[in-house]
Amino acid sequence: MKYFAGIDLGGTTIKGGIVDRENRIIYSKSIDTVVERGFEAVAEDIAKLVEELLIINNLEMDDIEYVGVGSPGAVDTKSGKIYFSGNLGWENVELGGYLKSRLKKEVYVGNDGACAALGEFLCLEDKNVDSMAMITIGTGVGFGFIFNGHMYDGATYGGGEFGHTTLVFGGEQCTCGQKGCIEAYASFTALIRDATRFASDNPKSCIAQIVSQNGKINGKDIFEAAKKGCPDAQMLTERFIEYIGAGIVNIINMLDPQVIVIGGGISRSSDYFLPKVIKYASENVFCRQAKLSEIRVAARGNEAGIIGAARLGDYIK
């Protein structure tokens, strides 16, 4: 059994891949999630995608060690049950159980941010690293923490929800129902909300011009406008980077991992934001006398989620 099947389940697409023992993806394929169809239809599509990945690669079920799935939300990695996922609209669904009985194979399910962190961790060149945190800045703020070479998810699988720790007590509404979560400040959804609000309040601003030209604005537009010299976009991105920096400072003050990896769409603008984030962190961590965690951008892009899911069974408790 030389291979592993990894599934990166998202609100929009389901990415699947066959991964070898050297953590290389030998084949991958994406399908649409169409989450409105409900749990069983999505779970069945995951099962079919695994079967298809095997057929395309001329593999039998016996050629893979196990199937791993990274899913949004709070996941009981022991039972494969998803307690809650706002993105998927699921509560208390037995994804692991469904796939196990459907595929007659060992199945592991973990949080998607934790799987992405594991994928990046497995691809680190420095094999002496045994503690690594990853934040993924996208529609939300994903998180994963590797400690002592294992995935950290807490006593009852409620841990690792860094995106829903409070950065601004009583602040902006978060999708999780709480107020002031880091996700409500350091995600692209939050940046777009702030830019749209700013454009509406300042109709003559360069941000308002982009909104009126395109009908809306996205994170890429804002970062590009900042690079081109739009002062409003610069103000918005600077503040956005401060929120990300403050989140990273919280991670360091709490966990102090050797390495912090930043992933998601923002990693494509790393030349612009990474030096600023490192500067913010070095100036604002509590213990400036100790060595700062190494802060870098993700190396594996979208592949990390598949790789981490594929190897999940070897890195959970």
At its nearest, how many Å lie between a copy of itself and the CB of residue 228?
A: 28
The answer to whether 176 contacts a copy of itself (rule: CB under 8 A) is yes
Choose between 51 and 172: whose C-beta lies nearer to a copy of itself: 172
Separation between Cα atoms, residue 208 and residue 201, nearest integer Å: 9
Closest CA to 19 of 31, 8, 32: 8
State the nearest-atom distance from the C-beta of 255 to a copy of itself, in Å: 5
Q: In the numeric block, which tokens belong to residue 113?
A: 């941010």
Judged by CB, which is closer to a copy of itself: 4, or 185?
185
> Residues binding a copy of itself: what is the number (CB under 8 A)?
50
CB nearer to a copy of itself: give 13 or 250.
Answer: 250
Q: Between 206 and 285, name the residue whose CB sits nearer to a copy of itself.
A: 285
Do residues 209 and 216 lie in contact, with contact meaning Cβ atoms separated by under 8 Å? no
CB atoms within 10 A of CB 169: 7
Q: Scan residues 36-95 and list those touching a copy of itself (CB under 8 A).
A: 74, 76, 83-84, 91-92
Classify residue 57 as left (phi > 0), alpha (psi -120 to 50) or beta.
Answer: alpha
C-beta of residue 79 within 8 angstroms of C-beta of residue 96: yes
Q: Which of 135, 226, 252, 278 binds a copy of itself (CB under 8 A)?
A: 252
The DSSP element (H or E) to which 189 belongs, if any, is helix 188-201
- Of 140 and 305, the one with the shorter C-beta distance to a copy of itself is 140
Residues 152-171 that bind a copy of itself (CB under 8 A): 153-162, 164-169, 171
Q: Does 175 bind a copy of itself (CB under 8 A)?
A: no
Q: Is 17 in the site for a copy of itself (CB under 8 A)?
A: no
Pick one of 189, 218, 284, 302: the residue that binds a copy of itself (CB under 8 A). Answer: 284
Q: Would you say 45 and 119 are in contact if contact means Cβ atoms under 8 Å apart?
A: no
DSSP 104: T
* Span from 47-55, 212-220, 221-229, 282-290 in contact with a copy of itself (CB under 8 A): 282-290
What is the gyration radius of the CA atoms in the chain, in angstroms? 20
Nearer to a copy of itself, 19 or 295 (CB): 295
Among 13, 30, 234, 250, binds a copy of itself (CB under 8 A): 250
Q: How far is the CB of 45 from a copy of itself (least distance, A)?
A: 24
- For 291, which DSSP code? P
Q: Which is nearer to a copy of itself, 58 or 289 (CB)?
A: 289
In angstroms, the CA 304 to CA 117 distance is: 7
Closest alpha carbon to 68 in 40, 45, 89, 99: 99
Q: Residue 111 is encoded by which pair of tokens?
A: 């949080």
Which x/- pattern over 116-155 shows residues binding a copy of itself (rule: CB under 8 A)? ---------------x---------------xx----xxx
- CA separation for the pair 316, 78 (Å, rounded): 8
**Distance between CA atoms of 237 and 306, rounded to whole angstroms?**
30
Question: What tokens does 133 get?
Answer: 């945190």
Nearer to a copy of itself, 169 or 204 (CB): 169
The footprint of a copy of itself (CB under 8 A) covers: 74, 76, 83-84, 91-92, 131, 147-148, 153-162, 164-169, 171, 176, 178, 185, 243, 246, 249-250, 252-258, 284-293
